[in-house]
Structure 1
C-alpha cells in the first residue's frame, strides 16, 4: 500500500504537468509573470486549480485504498467459500463412507449439490466430486448371494434374506450415483467434459440414457456388464476419448440404440461380448472413430440393425466371431468407413441379409476386407446381403472390397 499511493500520486502529477504544458504550448508559450503583477482574479484561479490538484492527489490515494480494500474483501470471500466447500465436502464424503446405505444415499446427493454449487472458475472442484463418485463405484461390490435349495434350513434362509436386503440397498446407492452422473451429462452442466474413471466397475444396471460425452477421458476399461439393464440409448459421443477396452458384456442388456457417434474416439478394443444383449440398433456413426479391433464375440446377441455407417471410421480389424448372433440387417454402409481386415469368422451367426424381420438387407458399399474374411472363415457363419453375394459370385468384387471399379482396374 505504501508503494502504490506514491505511484498513484506520481501518475496524477505527471498527467497534470502534461496538461499544463500542453495548455501553455497551445497558448503560444507566453512568458511568466511575476506574482506581484497578477490580478486578484488570476490568483483566485491559481488557488482554485491548486486545490483541484491536491484533491486529485487525494482522490487517487482514496481510489488505491478502495481498490485494495475491495481486492482484500474478494480474496477473503473466496477463502471463505473454499473453506465452506471443504467443510461440506468432508461431511458428504464421510456420509458416503457410512455403514448405513440410507446415509450413503444422503452423501451422494450432498456431493452432487456441492459440485453444482462450486464457485465459478473452480471446475477442479467439480472434477474432485466426480472423482469421488467414480471411486465409490470402483469399490469392491459384493455379488448377490446364490439361491438356496427349497429344503434349506430356516435360519440359513433368514440369513440369506437379510443379505439380499443388504445387497439391494447397496445396489440402490450405486444406481443412484450412475443416475445422477447421467442426469448431469444429459443437460448442459459443468459436469460435461470432465474425466470419468469407471475402470473395472461391475455394472448390474444404470441409466446413462441421452448422456453427452463431449470431452475429457471416460474409461469403462475392464468394466463388467453382467446383469440388469445399462442404457446408453440416445447418448452422443462427440468428443474426447471413451474407452470400453477389455470390457466384458456377459449378461443383461447394455443398449446403445439410437446413440450418435459423431466425433471423438470410442474404443471397444479387446472387449468380450459373451452373453446378454448389446443393441446398437439405429445408431449413427457420422464422424470420429468407433473401434472394435481384436474384440471377441463369443455368445449373446449384438444388434447393428438399421445402423447408419455414413461417416467416421469403424474398425472390426482382427475381431473374432466365434459364437454370438450378430445382426447387420438394414445397416447402411458408406464407402471406406467400415473395415473387416484380418477378421475371423469361426462360429455363431453374422448376417447382413434380411431374415424375414421386415427390414431391408444391409446396403451400400460392402465393408473393406469383409469378402476376404468370409472366404477365410468357416462356411455358413456369415450371410452376406444378396447384392454383395451376387457381386462376389460374378467376380466383380469391387463393391465387396470397398473400392471403386477404376481403382480395381488400376
Structure 2
C-alpha cells in the first residue's frame, strides 16, 4: 500500500470517528437546536476559521506522524535485513571453517559458531545443530585406529588377506613412517576439536554461563565419544538426544549434573570399554531413558545420585560385563525402572542405597550370571519390585540390608533357581518383604540362625565363595578325609595346610552335614575362613546311597600344635 493511500485511509477513519462522537454527544445533550435565528456575526466567522485551521493542523499532524512511522519502520526492516545478512555471512564462514581439512581451522570454526550463537538469538538453535552434526560424523579414536591397523597387519602376515596387486615400484619403508605418524597426529587433533565442541556446549549449560543455552535441543544420536566433560550442567527443558552413542576410552562425564526438566535420551547407548560418570547427579523431573542400552565393557558410576522426581528408565538394557555402581544413591521419589533388563555378567552395585520413596522396579528382569548387590541398604519407604523376574543364576545379595517401611515384592517370579540371599534382618523387620509361598521349602536362604545361605551355588566363575557373605575372598586351610570298608572301622586323615602336617586316625571331630550323619563310607570336608566376614566354614562332600551330597556348616578350626606351643610359652613367662 502506498503512502498516499495510507494517509487517505487514516483521514477517512479520523473523520468517521469525529462524526460518530459528535452525533453521540448531540443525542446525549437532548438534541439541542444547532442553528438559531440570530444574525451571523464576525465573531462567528472567526470561530469557524479557528475550527477549520485546527482541523487542517490535525490532519497535517496525522500525515506527518504516518510519514515518520513509515520511515522508522522501513529503517528497522532494513536494519533487520542487514543483521540477518551479517549473521548469515558469519554462519557460512564458520561452517566453512568447521569443514576445513586442518584441525586448527576447524577449532576456530567451533569458537566462531559459539560467538555467533551468543549474538544471534534467533539463529542459536541453528548454530547448535551445526555443532552437534559435526559430532555425529563418522569418527575413529586414535587408539582404535592403531588397533585396526595392527589387526590388518597380522591378518596380512597370516595370509588371511590377499596382498595388494603390484602397481609400480616398491616404496621405501622409510617413506611409509611419516604417513602413519601423520595419520595418528590427525586423529589426536580431531579428538581435540570434538572435545572443544563438548566444552563449548557444556559451558553454556552450566549455571554460571554468561549466555545460557538451556531449553534448546541437542542431537548427539549415533555419535562416538572418547572424552567429554558435561559435569555440573543443568538440563532445564528441550530434548537432549544421546541415543545410540558409543562410549570408548574416557567416555562422558556427567558428574553433579542436574536433570530438572525436559527429555534426555541415552536409549541404545553402547558402553564399549568407555566410562560413563553420573556420580552425584540429581534427577528431579526430567524424563531420562537408557532403554535397550548395552553395558558390555567399561564402567558406569552413578555413585551418590539423588532421584527426586521424574522417570529414569533402563527397560530392556543388557548388563554383560560392565561394572555399574549406584552405591550410596538416594531414592526419594520418581520412578527408576529396570524392567526386562538382562543381568548376565559383571557387577551391578546398589549397596548402601536408601529407598525412602518412589518406585524401583526390576519387573520381568533376568538375573542370569551377574552379581547384583543391595548389601547394607536402607529400605525405609517406597516400593522395590521384582514381579515376574527370573533368578536363573548369579547372585542377588541383600545381606545386612535393613528392611523398614519399603514394600519389597518378590512374591511372583518366573524362575527360582538362584534365589536372593538375605540375612537375619538385624536392626529392622521383614514386614513388607513378599516372597514366594514355597520359598522356605525351596532353599534355606534366610539367615535366622546365623549360618547363612547355603542353598545357592558356591562356585562362581571358578571361585569358591563364602557361604555366609558370598565373598570370593576365601581361604581353605584344612582337609578332612574319612573312609571305611563295609562293616569296618573308618580311617580318618587330616591335612593342616597352615602347619604343613598330615595326621591319620585323628582325634579331632570331622565336620558332618545335617542331611547325612556320621558313619558313612566316604566323606571329604574342606575347612576354611573368609576375609570379609571372618566366619569359619566347612564344605562337606558325603557319599550316600549312590549319590554325593554337598553341604555346608559352621566350622571350628581344629587344634593347632604351633598355637598351643606359643600359648604354653606365654603362660610360662617366656
Corresponding residue to 1:192 among 214, 218, 234: 214
Shift of residue 19 of structure 1?
Answer: 4.8
TM-score by length of 2: 0.62
* Aligned twin of 2:196: 176
TM-score by length of 1: 0.85
Shift of residue 383 of structure 1?
Answer: 4.0
Output the CA distance in 2 between the equivalents of 1:157 and 1:364.
64
Output the CA distance in 2 between the equivalents of 1:386 and 1:80.
68
Gaps in structure 2 of 5+ consecutive residues:
151-172, 404-421, 436-574
Instruction: Report whether the alignment pairs 1:113 with 2:115.
Output: yes
Q: Secondary structure at the residue paired with 1:380?
A: strand
* Aligned twin of 2:505: none
Q: Where in structure 2 are the equivalents of 1:394-405 lying within 5 Å?
A: 398-399=432-433
Ranges of 4+ aligned residues in structure 1 off by more than 6 Å: 391-395
Shift of residue 259 of structure 1?
Answer: 1.1
* Aligned twin of 2:281: 259
Output the CA distance in 2 between the equivalents of 1:10 and 1:136.
59
Q: Secondary structure at the residue paired with 1:2?
A: helix
* Aligned twin of 2:440: none
Are the counterparts in 2 of residues 370 and 400 from structure 1 also a CA contact under 8 Å? no
Structure of higher CA gyration radius: 2
* Aligned twin of 1:380: 395
Gaps in structure 1 of 5+ consecutive residues:
355-360, 402-410
Corresponding residue to 1:164 among 162, 165, 184: 184
Are the counterparts in 2 of residues 16 and 53 from structure 1 also a CA contact under 8 Å? no
* Aligned twin of 2:169: none
Relative contact order, higher structure (CA 8 A, sep 6+) = 1
Change (3 A) 1:196 1:384: farther
Corresponding residue to 2:93 among 83, 91, 94: 91
Output the CA distance in 1 between the equivalents of 2:274 and 2:52.
87
Are the counterparts in 1 of residues 399 and 423 from structure 2 also a CA contact under 8 Å? no
Shift of residue 281 of structure 1?
Answer: 1.2
Corresponding residue to 1:141 among 139, 144, 149: 139
Change (3 A) 1:23 1:369: closer
Q: Secondary structure at the residue paired with 2:87?
A: helix
Corresponding residue to 1:38 among 37, 40, 45: 40
Are the counterparts in 1 of residues 141 and 226 from structure 2 also a CA contact under 8 Å? no
Change (3 A) 1:83 1:329: same
Corresponding residue to 1:127 among 125, 128, 135: 125
Change (3 A) 1:232 1:386: closer
For structure 1, which segment, 73-82 or 378-387, has the greater mean C-alpha deviation from structure 2 after superposition? 378-387
Equivalent pairs, count: 387
Output the CA distance in 2 between the equivalents of 1:174 and 1:364.
45
Output the CA distance in 2 between the equivalents of 1:368 and 1:176.
42
Change (3 A) 1:76 1:372: same
Shift of residue 369 of structure 1?
Answer: 2.9
Change (3 A) 1:45 1:280: same
Change (3 A) 1:31 1:161: closer
Are the counterparts in 1 of residues 247 and 272 from structure 2 also a CA contact under 8 Å? yes
Change (3 A) 1:82 1:209: same
Shift of residue 53 of structure 1?
Answer: 0.6
Change (3 A) 1:76 1:379: closer
Instruction: Report whether the alignment pairs 1:49 with 2:48.
Output: no
Change (3 A) 1:391 1:10: farther
Corresponding residue to 1:352 among 353, 361, 374: 374
Change (3 A) 1:382 1:154: farther
Output the CA distance in 2 between the equivalents of 1:316 and 1:252.
21
